[in-house]
Amino acid sequence: MATIEEALELERLERDIFRGAFPKTQLPRTFGGQVAGQALVSAVRTVEPRFQVHSLHGYFLRPGNPEAPTVYMVDRIRDGRSFSTRRVTGVQDGDAIFTMSASFHIGDEGPSHQDEMADVAPPDDLPDAETSMDPERLWAMREWEHWDIRPVPQEQVTQRPGVVSPQQVWFRYRHPLPDDPLFHVCTLAYMSDMTLLGSSKVTHPDEPTQNASLDHAMWFLRPFRTDDWLLYDQSSPSAGFGRALTGGKIFDRSGRLVAAVVQEGLIRTLRK
C-alpha cells in the first residue's frame, strides 16, 4: 500500500489551495489520519520555515471518498512575530469534510517539566503485529504495511488508579524518513488517528459498535522521529450517548514526552 510520502503528497493549485493524493486503499472511507496529515502539510506550506507546528485542532465533518482527491483551502488567520495561525478546510465534491486550525511557534525559553513514561515492555520484547495479529484483522496490516505497530498485551498494560480503559501501543515507520522535523510532525498527525479510538473498546471488547473519529486535537511538545520507536499511552476517560472521549501521550523510547492527543469519537452500539 501507499508509503507515507505518497499518502501526504499534495499538488499546489493556487497560492493557498492544494489537492491531496488519494492512494489505493481497502477502506470504505478516507482514513482520518490521511486527511489530517494532508491538511497539516497544506498549512505548513504557507508558513515561513522558522515556525514549527505546536498544535492542531480538527473536526471530521463528513466521511471522505477514498477514490477522489480532497482539496485543501488555507486561510492565513495570523502572522505574528512569535506565532502564526492557519485554518484549513478539506473539500470533496463541494462539501467540507474536514476543518482544522493549526498554530505555529518559533520557540522560546521557559520552565520545563513532563510526566514520566510508564514502565512498559520494550518493543523488542513484543511480537510484530504483522506476524501475531488475528487473521481477521490482517487486512489492517496490509493497509498500513509500512508501519511497525506493536500493542502491549492487555495483561501487561500499566494499570493506574481510576483509569478504566487503558491501552498502550509501540509504533514506528519501518523505513528511514527525511530529516525534516516538519515531515515527522505531519507523519505523526497521520499516525495519531490510528488505534486511539480503540482504547474506548478496552472495557467493552465484545460489544459490536460503529466507530468513527469526530474531532482531534494534538500538541507537539518536543522534537522526535517517527522512524524511531514511539509509545502511544492511551486511555478513554468517558464513553456515553454514542460517543467516547479518548486521549494519549506519546513518548520516544528514551522517555521524553513528545506529543499529546485528545480525540472524541463515535462509538454507537449496533442493533441486531
Cell representation of residue 84: 502564526
Cell representation of residue 199: 482504547
CA 90 – CA 262 distance, rounded (Å): 21
CA distances from 154 to 119, 139, 157, 163, 271 (A): 14, 22, 5, 14, 27
Contact 141/130 with Cβ under 8 angstroms? yes
Torsion from C-alpha of 49, 222, 195, 42, nearest 10 degrees: -10
CA 238 – CA 5 distance, rounded (Å): 35
Q: Which residues pair with 247 in a beta bridge?
A: 235, 262
Residue 21 identity (one-letter amino acid): A
CA 183 – CA 117 distance, rounded (Å): 24
Question: What is the DSSP secondary-structure string of 80-144?
Answer: -SSEEEEEEEEEETTEEEEEEEEEEE---------PPPP----GGGS--HHHHS-GGGHHHHHHT
Question: Which residues are designated catalytic?
Answer: 193, 213, 263
Q: Which residues pair with 240 in a beta bridge?
A: 243
Distance, C-alpha 138 to centroid of its chain = 20
